[in-house]
Structures are given as structure tokens and as C-alpha cells.
Amino acid sequence: MLPSGFPNTMDGLLAMLASGEMSLQQAADIQRQHFRAAAVELDSVIRFMDEPFVQGLPFSGVAVAHKDIFEQDGYRPGLGRDRGHADASAVIARAPAVLRAQGMVQLGTVAMAEDACSATGFTRRLPTPKNPLRKDLAVGGSSSGSAVAVASGMVFASLGTDTAGSVRIPAMTCGVMGLKTTHLMVDRTGMELISPSLDSIGVLARSVQDLGHVFRLVASKPLVQSSPDQLRVCFWDAFEELGDGDADIAAVVRAFAGHHAAETRGNLRGLFETAGHHATVVMSTEVAQTQRERIENGLACEEVRQLGLIGMVLPGQFYEQAIGQRQALQAHCLQTMFADVDIWLMPLQLQPLPTVEQVYPGASQFNAYASLAMHKMCGWINYLGLPSLAMPVGTDASGLPVSIQMVAKPGHELDLLRLARQVQDEIFGKDGIRPSMPSQEEV
Amino acid sequence: MQRDLESIESMFSQGQLSPESYWDQVASKRLAGLQIPLTAKESARLLKALARMRESFQRAVAYGNAAIPAQARSQPCGGSDLAGGQ
């Protein structure tokens, strides 16, 4: 377990290292020890790595761990199928490489849903990670290990990927923050692509500061910040407009929005459903292409097989229409949704956090609606290419986190971070969300 | 089968097939042409999913026609990232 005085943010650790309160060796030992111990308890690590902690770089001493979807030096990722394998031709993917160059040490690769194709972290061929909040709760996917590693304090931050919610859903289920970046904002070199038109690299962390540090480093396009001192924030009450969601969860979200949004607006259902439909068409068609050989050879997992089969049977016109209308719909979105709004607050979570028995395949109380509710609000955002930040903003009657998503214009991640920082400081304090595995020792 | 599909696609493009008829013909041809053995349960689930997608496709077309200027609608804009990726 982490010692009680161990800082919760990268800035806190860097300050302790700079002041001499903690040595680099101590920081390395504490983090490696906790990472290994929690990995056993939570089944979250795929492969341990022995990268050295080195002095003199901006983030020297900071530990991270990333989804097992990126090429590493001489190693291919396992993609939730297995633990990967050595391959001399593999190069380190760009995003993890940028972090490493700044001194962040990758302690290992962490679990993911097979082929990044499930809203839960359930895996058939590897241990399924456990939720640090409560072990009977499901872990969302597909960046499941990233959320578990961050929530349990194993690392400060983790890179994940989001095709239809795969950063936001696991963040939601584990009560941490997840930033799905603008499509193609982060260079995907060295990342395995499942649906190239939708895949985005994202970041999970317990604090907005750490989200910001990692995001600024990996961003490969110019960042934009809205000029108004006061961000124009609006709430879409999708609970009401879609007639969906749990009443108690809706009440928590509405109470939060009442404090942080200038107004509530509706009339987004048409865009939501259209973009959501196109997202499904694009994803299923592209999965059918990227995974065709595995599906035909009987090697694909059930989720990939079902999605890919749909893609194989869909008329080609559907995909052409979905891709062909994308820019026009994105322009329409900017002209309507964002004409006078910087950030939309909207539901991410529709139901109380589901249990393992409700949403893992083959579970005794499997509930198809609970499973759908995990990702229903996500895919349309990927189709429109927008950045979205998932964040817990309250708790339900059981004391479990309730999360929303904040959505901005393409390239406006800094606006999201600015608003999220205000929210974080009000709700969690300036150091963000505390790890779910409490500290037990003194430094 | 490929020729059949191209013929169906062509008839649909020329407005000679309704979306429903187009859909049913393409889906059944493609399903029959899959080189992957499906269980009866899988086939039924697939057909159900496809039926849902046909409905949402019609709603999406209606929304697109209302929201997107005709000029933008008739010109392919943007491309798939599938071929290139990064």
C-alpha cells in the first residue's frame, strides 16, 4: 500500500523530490512496491517493465502504466488476447515515448478488453481486473487496467484508447477522470487500430493537473483555448429528452449541472441518434475489415465477432453515407451545439454502477439494458470527433460515484481541463481524487 | 454473388429500389455469402441487429436531409481513415 504521506499528484511528488524530502530512489521503490502488490490483488497488470528511474528530466520520479495496445521497444502488445510477445521490429509507440522522454517511467502494461471491443473489462483468456472501489462492481472497458491502476494509486496516470467510450466508461466505473481527446489530436503511431476513423488516445488520472500534464505532452496538434474569462457552459438533460436513465442518478447530475451550467437546453436527440447510428456503422464496418482474418479463422472474441459480422453484412451504402456525411455533420454540430456554448455538460452514466453479475458475459443476472447503458452516451461523440472529459461529480444513495461527461469543440481540451479543475477543487480538493486503496504506512 | 450485389447497389443508387427492399436484398445476399459458419442463434441475433440498424438508418437519413445543406449532402466529404490510419 502507498505510505500515507505519499503525494496524490505528480506536482506534489516533484515538489518533494526537489526539496529533498524524498529521494528518487525512495520514490521509485515506493511506487514499484505498490504497483506489484496492487497488481496481485487487482489482476490489473499484463507485463511488468524494468525501466530505470533517471534524474534530471522534468518528470523524473513519476510512474505511469499504459494500456497494452501500444508497441514497446522490441515488444508487441497483447491487446487483451494474451500477454504480448517479443518482436525485434517493434518500436515504442509515439505517445508513451514522449512521456518517457520527459522522465515518466512506465512500470508495466495494464489490462484491456480483448481487441478494445467491449464496454466491460471482462476477458476470457487473461484474468479480469477487479474494481478498487468494490470488488463486486464491474470494471468498464476497454481501458480497464488503466482505470484500475489509476484508481488504486498504482500510478499517477495511464494512457488508454477510446473508440466508443473506452476511456470514459472505465473511468466512470472506477470513479476517476478520463479524457477522450479530439480525434487525431494525439498521434497514434505504434498503437493498434481497431476502428481507425473513431480511435483516439486518451488519458486517465485522479487529478486534473495530471490529466493536463500528460495531455499537453502527448498532444500532437496545436491547442486552442476559448477567450472568454467565463466559459459558457450549458447542460443537456438527456435523461429527459431521451426518456432514459435512473431517477436518482439523474437527480445527482441535475443538481451538479444546476451549479455549473448557465442554462439547460434540449433538442439534441436528432444529432445524438444520427451520429450514434453512423458511429455503429463505421465501427462495425471497420472492425469487419481490421479483424476479418481473426473472425474467419475463429480466433476473434465474441464481441469482435458479433460486431464484425454486422459490418460484413451491412450494405456498403451505409458506410459510405456515414463517412461521407461526417464533415457536414461535424460542421452542423459546431453551428448548432457550439454556436454560443463552450462546454456541454451531459450524462455519461445512466444507471448506478453495474456489478460484475449484471454486465459480464455469462453472468447469472446478466442485464442487457445495464450493459447498453454503460456505453449509450459515448459513440456519437467519437463520430463527431469531439473531446470529452469524464468526471465523477457526486455520489448515489450507496455512496458510489456518479459521473458526467463534459464535451467541447474539437481541439478545445484546455477548456475542459479549466472547468474540470474548478469542479475538482470544489468537490475533491486541490489534489484531486484519493486512491481507493487507502495508505497504511508513513513515508 | 458480387455481381448480384453490384446490381442491387446500382438499382438502389438509381432509385429503383426502396430502402427497405434494398436492405432486405443486400442483407440476405451478404448473410448467405458469408464464409463463416453461424449458429441459428447467431443468425437470428444478427438479423435482429440488422433490422434495428435499418430503422435507425432511415431516421439518420431523415435527420441528415433536414440538417445538412443539399450541396454538402451530394458531395462525398471527408474520407475514411481505414486505409491510412497512422
Sheet holding A63-67, edge to edge: A45-48, A105-110, A63-67, A157-162, A200-205, A177-180, A388-395, A401-408, A343-347, A233-236, A263-265
Interface test with B, best of A181, A309, A321, A326 (most B CBs within 10 A): A309
The whole-angstrom separation of Cα A38 and Cα A2 is 10
Residue partners of B81: CB distance under 8 A and separation at least 6: A184, A196, A197
Please, is A195 exposed, middle or buried when counting C-beta atoms within 10 Å of its C-beta (0-12, 13-18, 19+)?
buried
Give the C-alpha separation, A113 to A125, whole Å: 10
So what's the pLDDT on residue A438? 37
Cell representation of residue A346: 451531459
Residue B46 above 60 pLDDT?
yes
Nearest one of A135, A146, A116, A122 to A210, comparing CA atoms: A146
- Ranges A369-383, B1-15, B55-69: which has the least confidence: B1-15
Where would I find the beta strands (DSSP E) of A112-265? 157-162, 177-180, 200-205, 233-236, 263-265
Nearest to B36 among A193, A290, A296 (CB): A296
User: What counts of helices (H) and strands (E) characterise chain B?
Assistant: 4, 0
A24-41 residues labelled b (16+ CB within 10 A) or e (exposed)? eebbbebbbebbeebbee
Residue A384 maps to a domain: yes
pLDDT at B48: 83
pLDDT on residue B17: 77
The pLDDT of residue A26: 97
Question: What pairs with residue A389 in β-bridges?
Answer: A179, A406
Any B CB within 8 A of A220 CB: no
What is residue A102's predicted lDDT score, i.e. its pLDDT?
98
Q: Is it the case that residue B58 has pLDDT exceeding 50?
A: yes
CB-nearest partner of A327 from B35, B61, B78 = B78
Which pLDDT band holds residue B19 (cuts at 50, 70, 90)? low
Which residues, 6+ apart, have CB-to-CB distance to A346 below 8 Å?
A235, A236, A238, A377, A404, A405, A407
**Interval B49-67 mean pLDDT:** 87
pLDDT for A51 equals 93
In B, minimum Cα distance to A309 occurs at: B46
The residue segments making up the domain with residue A163 are: 10-268+324-427
Any idea what the CATH number is for the domain that residue A52 is in? 3.90.1300.10
Low-confidence ranges of chain A (pLDDT < 50): 438-443
Which distant-in-sequence residues (6+ apart) come within 8 Å of A214 by Cβ? A64, A99, A157, A159, A203, A205
Is B63 inside any structural domain? yes
Which of A189, A277, A312 is the closest to B57 by Cβ? A277
Q: Grid coordinates representing B1?
A: 454473388
Q: Select from A193, A197, A313 the Cβ nearest to the Cβ of B31.
A: A313
Looking at per-residue pLDDT, the higher value among A100 and B81 belongs to A100
The predicted pLDDT at position B74 comes to 54
The pLDDT, as a whole number, for residue A443 is: 31
Task: Report the distance separating Cα A101 and Cα A105, nearest Å.
Answer: 9
Model confidence at B80, pLDDT cuts 50, 70, 90, reads low
Look at chain A and report how many structural domains it folds into. 1
Residues A116-131 pLDDT 10s: 999 999 999 999 999 9
Assess if residue B32 is contained within a domain: yes
Query: Bridge-partner residues for A186, per DSSP?
Result: A219
* Inside any domain, residue B55: yes
pLDDT given at position A408:
97
Residues in chain B within 8 Å Cβ distance of A372: none
CA atoms within 13 A on the CB side of B21: 9
- Residues in chain B within 8 Å Cβ distance of A309: 34, 36, 38, 42, 46
Res A406: pLDDT: 98
What is the residue range of B15's domain?
Answer: 2-69
Q: Contact at 8 Å (CB) between A133 and A151?
A: yes
Q: B65 lies in a domain?
A: yes
Cβ within 8 Å, pair A324-B61: no
Q: What is the total count of domains within chain B?
A: 1
Judge whether A119 lies within some domain. Answer: yes
For residue A84, the model assigns a pLDDT of 97
Q: What is the pLDDT of residues A229-287, one digit of tens each?
A: 789 999 999 999 999 999 999 999 999 999 999 999 999 999 999 999 999 999 999 99
d(CA A59, CA A313): 49
pLDDT at B84: 36
